[in-house]
Structure 1
Amino acid sequence: MQYTVSASVFLAIIIFVRLRRRTESRSRVDETLTVLSAATFGILIATTPLGQAVLHLVGVAADATH
Structure 2
Amino acid sequence: MLNINLAFFLTVIVVLRLRRRTEARSRADERMTVAIVLLLGVLIAPTEFGQGLVRATGQLLEQVARVRL
Identity, % of aligned positions:
38
Q: Residue 12 of structure 1: SS of its match in structure 2? A: helix
2 CA distance for matches of 1:36 and 1:50?
21
Residue pairs, 1:1-66, within 5 angstroms: 2-66=1-65
Q: Which runs of 5+ in 2 are unaligned?
A: none
Give the RMSD, CA atoms, in angstroms. Answer: 0.7
Q: In terms of Rg, which structure is larger? A: 2
Instruction: After the TM superposition, list the runs of 4 or more consecutive aligned residues in structure 1 that deviate by more than 4 angstroms.
Output: none
TM-score by length of 1: 0.93
Q: Which runs of 5+ in 1 are unaligned?
A: none
Q: Residue 3 of structure 1: SS of its match in structure 2? A: coil
Aligned residues: 65
TM-score by length of 2: 0.89
